[in-house]
Chains A and B, each alone.
Chain A
Amino acid sequence: MSHHDAAHAGGAHDAHGDHRPSIYDPRRWLFSTNHKDIGTMYLVFAIIAGLIGGAMSGLIRWELKEPGITFLPHLVHVPHAILEQVRLGVMNADQLWAWKVDAAKHFYDTLVTYHGLIMIFFMVMPAMIGGFGNWFVPLMIGAPDMAFPRMNNISFWLLPVSFTLAMISFLVPGAGDHAGFGGGWTLYAPLSTNWGGGATPFSYHDGPAMDFLILSLHIAGASSILGAINFITTIFNMRAPGMTLHRMPLFVWSMLVTVWLLVLSLPVLAGALTMLLTDRNFHTNFFNPAGGGDPVMYQHLFWFFGHPEVYILILPGFGMVSQIVSTFSRKPVFGYLGMAYAMVSIGLIGFVVWAHHMYTVGMGLDLEAYFIAATMVIAVPTGIKIFSWIATMWGGSIDFKVPMLWAIGFIFLFTVGGVTGVVLANSGVDTSFHDTYYVVAHFHYVLSLGAVFAIFGGFFYWIPKMSGYRYNGFLAGLQFWIMFIGVNIVFFPQHFLGAQGMPRRHVDYNEAYQYWNNISTIGYLITAVGVLVFLVTLVEMFLVKRKAGANPWGEGANTLEWSLSSPPPFHQFNELPVIKPEAGH
């Protein structure tokens, strides 16, 4: 977008005043106010959370490999009281197994729940917003740091607190004897309340697990809101001279839209969670029909947050893919303004489509018609993005470096996820697909194959800048191909399962669904190998220490971060770079 003459302003100048503390000094991390260190912590956190969430999905897929409940019973925690009964001979081995099978049903539900929550709140969001956002928004707009560095610190450190609470929630009693909350990441009331008990002890969550989870999500939400305020302030107030809004790199635009969505949608989630908390603990009846409340109101509140949230998960990816495609095509982004305002309009429309997640609650014809129309409108700006990426490559001189592989994979697989979204938008057909594996396939195509591909693309694009080292191209390329094949084998067959009517969140299935479930699990194993190769690539990179220059990608990489050394100085842009309009822009 813009030329700059920052090379001397940033890198060279700062180098001699650069007091970079040792990485072994805990104070550097605990008290960090440095956007790059905080970004690094976010990325490390996201990788760890991603491995935990990924392990949970492995347990899910392993249980679903064969019909019957065969695997998870081996893993469930058996309370002391039950063991005592076995010891006393009151319970024989068969009865113990039956108890474990029963417990495994709830355990399965908790795995599905915490897998979703971890991947959304503790993997994708921290990686994209906290990690890449913190690292590169200040660098790309020519700012020395974020606007509120100490708030940045607390935004990050709230996250491990929140994650710890979520893990506690996973382990403490949730429903009756069984640990954890098993009501899905959507936390629908009344299942997430504790009104039940009596004849149906497991249908409600009477234990503390749900309360811990509410607390965890409140804190994660506070962390995100603080982070979002920080980004908004930084982007509006700390751009270098000449860096007008319309000259900002698209990644910064994507972050700006994302954080606005966060600020506007998270308070609604917080409200819904608070109502759940008081319904559970203080006998309010927000969602209890017996007291004049309405369970459907919970869903409206949740999805008023939830739909913008799914765009929060993908918009930074849009930004990263734009940078990557432009860099490796050695060509400026096609239709820059269209790209920026497509994201703005996706953000705006994203607030008025929420009830497409609730077509089966009995909302009536008129409302369904409205939500169908509004939802499909989103496909227009989404199409503009897809075609503009391709137009950016068109006429370019494309270098198929690893980040570019991920970006091209993203464009295609996101398209596949997008078109199934358009199918689901039609409530008439959603009657068949809602709450089946078709929906699971849809959102994993946009998330596991969309957002995650964007994250890997961004990671390999920027890791030379962040670490100062080049990755091993063979290993990283190998990881791409293994994962590309693996995730498609996991998720494509799930469209078939959904069409055949297999409901989601079922621990067991009829034998007719075995064929594709088995293949899906094989896909998981392939994907897991890809993740291992990723870890090997990381270790290899830090062991071999191939030095990366300031700009390993050449002329196509013309945003400000590439004008700095790799890794950048601890404090950059003490003398602000001046951005001049690009000739002929």
Chain B
Amino acid sequence: MKRGALSTIAAGAAAIFGAGSALAAEGAPTPGGVHFQEPATAVMRDIVSFHDNWLMPIIVGVSVFVLALLLWVIVRFNRRANPTPRKFTHNLLVEVIWTIVPVIILVVIASQSFPLIIKEETIPQSEYTLKVTGRSWSWAYEYPDLGVSFTSSILSDEDIAARNAGDPEVPARRLLSTTEPLVVPVGANVHVLVTSEDVIHAWAVPSFGVKEDAIMGRVNETWFNVDSPGVYYGQCSELCGKDHAFMPIEVRAVSRAEFAEWVVAQGGTMPGAPAVGAGGEPEAAAAAPTR
């Protein structure tokens, strides 16, 4: 597993992202963007659709309704339009309505909310287990069953310039690109275990709909299943001290074949492949569920 880090990365990157590989997706912020990053998992698509189809219409509706009422009273009941104020202070009917209707709206929201959290929080049968460890200020990744582990830190401005000089298909991005991206297979359930070696960090990839606190002494779990090959970025999302803004997350989702190549290049062993070290677990692959 020892290797010259940079040359391996370069070789790996060339193997994975060589000419012709369809690297359509990029999970990154867009300049001036006002909406979510492009979703890359079913969970994130559900988050977006819950937000866009249910929450947004409701909250925009409520806000516009309140604004319209305010404008109406401003126009209709100002001093000039209505010199003598009326004195009523009760109206049972409207009071009942504005209690019941919000309750109904909230029940509707909850009916959509609960299925979503069930989907997010129920870890499906997973092909791969990924252990993520936050530390000040970088991320350590490990596929315990594959015998792969490495550390991923922020890519310096010089390295970004160097990488982009070669006019790569996916440019390196400031504050988002890392020295060594996490590589995951497309279309596989990945069970993520998140913990920390020191203060609390949070492992977040917006386009996956994943954000999980990394806490010392506790292992949190979440999962994802990436739709299509691409590069997906995230950033530490729990204040962890001076370099909190400088411990990015870069995930490269690749085909299963490319993933297997990468694992081997990292000195690990794919399950089912002739065992190099210990721990090839053939059943894991057989049990691969469709989610």
* A residues apposed to B, CB below 8 Å: 67, 102, 105-106, 109, 175, 178, 182-184, 188, 190-191, 196, 200, 202-204, 289-290, 294-296, 329-336, 338, 360-362, 364-365, 368-369, 372-373, 376-377, 379-380, 383-384, 386-387, 390-391, 393-400, 408, 411-412, 415-416, 419-420, 422-423, 426-429, 431-432, 434-436, 496, 499-503, 505-516, 556, 584-585
The answer for the CA separation of A369 and B118 in the assembled complex, in Å, is 9
Our pick among A380, A408, A427, A516 for the contact of B70 (Cβ within 8 Å) is: A408
The answer for the CA separation of A172 and B152 in the assembled complex, in Å, is 34
Our pick among B33, B116, B194, B238 for the contact of A435 (Cβ within 8 Å) is: B238
The answer for the CA separation of A234 and B256 in the assembled complex, in Å, is 72
The answer for the CA separation of A516 and B218 in the assembled complex, in Å, is 37
Asked if B221 is at the interface (CB within 8 A of a chain A CB), the reply is yes
Q: Is the pair B237, A394 in contact by a Cβ cutoff of 8 Å? A: no
Q: Is the pair A196, B198 in contact by a Cβ cutoff of 8 Å? A: yes
The answer for the CA separation of A556 and B82 in the assembled complex, in Å, is 15
Our pick among A368, A400, A419, A503 for the contact of B117 (Cβ within 8 Å) is: A368
Our pick among B37, B50, B88, B173 for the contact of A395 (Cβ within 8 Å) is: B88
Can you show 22 pairs from A to B with CB atoms below 8 A apart?
Answer: A105-B246, A106-B241, A182-B241, A190-B216, A196-B136, A196-B199, A295-B216, A333-B89, A395-B77, A395-B82, A396-B77, A397-B78, A398-B78, A398-B79, A412-B63, A428-B113, A428-B120, A434-B211, A434-B237, A435-B202, A510-B174, A585-B89
* B residues apposed to A, CB below 8 Å: 28-37, 44, 46-47, 50-51, 55, 58-59, 62-63, 66-67, 69-70, 73-74, 77-79, 82-91, 94-95, 98-99, 102-103, 106, 109-110, 113-114, 116-122, 135-137, 173-176, 194, 198-200, 202, 204, 206, 209-213, 215-218, 220-221, 234-246
Chain A proximity of B97: nearest CB distance (Å)? 9
Chain A proximity of B93: nearest CB distance (Å)? 12
Q: Is the pair B200, A500 in contact by a Cβ cutoff of 8 Å? A: no
Chain B residues with Cβ below 8 Å from A369 are 114, 117
What 8 A-B pairs are tightest by C-beta distance, nearest first? A289-B217, A428-B116, A362-B220, A501-B206, A203-B136, A419-B59, A512-B29, A506-B245
Q: Is the pair B82, A335 in contact by a Cβ cutoff of 8 Å? A: no
The answer for the CA separation of A535 and B102 in the assembled complex, in Å, is 41
Query: Whose C-beta in chain B lies nearest to the C-beta of A507?
Result: B245
Q: Is the pair B106, A376 in contact by a Cβ cutoff of 8 Å? A: yes
Our pick among B34, B200, B245 for the contact of A191 (Cβ within 8 Å) is: B200
Q: Is the pair B63, A391 in contact by a Cβ cutoff of 8 Å? A: no
Our pick among B34, B87, B94, B110 for the contact of A372 (Cβ within 8 Å) is: B110
Chain B residues with Cβ below 8 Å from A330 are 85
The answer for the CA separation of A445 and B102 in the assembled complex, in Å, is 21
Chain A proximity of B51: nearest CB distance (Å)? 5
- New A-B contacts (6) at CB < 8 Å, excluding given A396-B77, A509-B175, A515-B32: A379-B106, A393-B77, A397-B78, A428-B117, A428-B120, A429-B47
Chain B proximity of A247: nearest CB distance (Å)? 13
Chain B residues with Cβ below 8 Å from A379 are 102, 106
Chain B proximity of A274: nearest CB distance (Å)? 21
Query: Whose C-beta in chain A lies nearest to the C-beta of B32?
Result: A515
The answer for the CA separation of A196 and B50 in the assembled complex, in Å, is 41
Q: Is the pair B209, A432 in contact by a Cβ cutoff of 8 Å? A: yes
The answer for the CA separation of A294 and B217 in the assembled complex, in Å, is 8
Q: Is the pair A361, B213 in contact by a Cβ cutoff of 8 Å? A: yes
Q: Is the pair A432, B237 in contact by a Cβ cutoff of 8 Å? A: no
Chain A proximity of B188: nearest CB distance (Å)? 21
Q: Is the pair A295, B200 in contact by a Cβ cutoff of 8 Å? A: yes
Chain B proximity of A542: nearest CB distance (Å)? 29
Chain A residues with Cβ below 8 Å from B33 are 496, 499-500, 512
Chain A residues with Cβ below 8 Å from B47 are 428-429, 431-432
Q: Is the pair B74, A408 in contact by a Cβ cutoff of 8 Å? A: yes
Q: Is the pair B77, A431 in contact by a Cβ cutoff of 8 Å? A: no
The answer for the CA separation of A296 and B113 in the assembled complex, in Å, is 25
The answer for the CA separation of A390 and B73 in the assembled complex, in Å, is 8
Chain A proximity of B40: nearest CB distance (Å)? 12
Our pick among B63, B69, B94, B218 for the contact of A296 (Cβ within 8 Å) is: B218
The answer for the CA separation of A376 and B105 in the assembled complex, in Å, is 10
Chain A residues with Cβ below 8 Å from B58 are 419, 422
Chain A proximity of B213: nearest CB distance (Å)? 5
Q: Is the pair B121, A365 in contact by a Cβ cutoff of 8 Å? A: yes
The answer for the CA separation of A290 and B50 in the assembled complex, in Å, is 40
Q: Is the pair B237, A362 in contact by a Cβ cutoff of 8 Å? A: no
Chain B residues with Cβ below 8 Å from A376 are 106, 109-110
Q: Is the pair A332, B117 in contact by a Cβ cutoff of 8 Å? A: no
The answer for the CA separation of A373 and B31 in the assembled complex, in Å, is 36
Chain B proximity of A413: nearest CB distance (Å)? 10
Given known contacts A383-B98, A510-B175, is B117 in contact with A427 (CB within 8 Å)?
yes
Q: Is the pair B212, A362 in contact by a Cβ cutoff of 8 Å? A: yes
Chain A residues with Cβ below 8 Å from B117 are 365, 368-369, 372, 426-428
Q: Is the pair A391, B91 in contact by a Cβ cutoff of 8 Å? A: yes
The answer for the CA separation of A423 and B86 in the assembled complex, in Å, is 37
Q: Is the pair A360, B211 in contact by a Cβ cutoff of 8 Å? A: yes
Q: Is the pair B113, A505 in contact by a Cβ cutoff of 8 Å? A: no
Chain A residues with Cβ below 8 Å from B194 are 362
Chain B residues with Cβ below 8 Å from A398 are 73-74, 77-79, 82
Query: Whose C-beta in chain A lies nearest to the C-beta of B27?
Result: A501
Chain B residues with Cβ below 8 Å from A182 are 241-242
Our pick among B44, B51, B120 for the contact of A423 (Cβ within 8 Å) is: B51
Chain B residues with Cβ below 8 Å from A362 are 194, 212-213, 215, 218, 220-221
Chain B residues with Cβ below 8 Å from A422 are 55, 58-59, 106, 109
Query: Whose C-beta in chain B lies nearest to the C-beta of A331?
Result: B85
Q: Is the pair B121, A368 in contact by a Cβ cutoff of 8 Å? A: yes
Q: Is the pair A190, B175 in contact by a Cβ cutoff of 8 Å? A: no
Chain A residues with Cβ below 8 Å from B239 are 109, 183-184, 188, 191, 505
Chain A proximity of B25: nearest CB distance (Å)? 15
Q: Is the pair A329, B120 in contact by a Cβ cutoff of 8 Å? A: no
Q: Is the pair A509, B245 in contact by a Cβ cutoff of 8 Å? A: yes
Given known contacts A183-B239, A397-B83, is B174 in contact with A67 (CB within 8 Å)?
yes
Q: Is the pair B69, A390 in contact by a Cβ cutoff of 8 Å? A: yes
Max count, chain A CB within 10 A of own CB: residue among B33, B94, B95: B33
Q: Is the pair B240, A203 in contact by a Cβ cutoff of 8 Å? A: yes
